[in-house]
Amino acid sequence: MFTLVIYDITEDDLRNDVANACKRYGLVRVQKSAFLGNISSAMRKELIATLNEIIKDTENNIQVYVICRSDLSLKVELGKPFRGEESEMLV
């Protein structure tokens, strides 16, 4: 199953910590504040615990979605494609 992490974080240091955690768990940036990747349920639980530790006691927000491959294939992308650090993600 795919994991989508989106976040709204105002502090630069916390935002960088969240992005780095997502990368460590194998997710790739698909928008400025969104990461996506195909990781195991166990890894997802670890990632969620890590992200919770990063933003605990703050007013920030992180949302984690689990998406199956067939639903992900229905994705519609509008406008200019996002090209961050990674230019493509294999699905």
Query: What domains are defined for the chain?
Result: 2-72 (3.30.70.240)
pTM: 0.88
What's the pLDDT score for residue 91? 46
Strand partners, 85: none
Taking the alpha carbons at both ends of the chain, their separation in whole angstroms is 11
Which CA distances in Å does 23 have to 19, 49, 77?
A: 6, 15, 22
Closest CA to 7 of 78, 83, 61, 80: 61
Assigned token pair, 53: 């530790």
Q: Is 48 exposed, middle or buried (0-12, 13-18, 19+ CB in 10 A)?
A: middle
Averaged pLDDT score across all residues of the chain: 92
Contact 9, 18 (CB under 8 A): yes
- The low-confidence residues of the chain, meaning pLDDT below 50, are 87-88, 90-91
Contact 43, 79 (CB under 8 A): no
Tell me the pLDDT tens digit for each residue of 54-73: 999 999 999 999 999 999 99
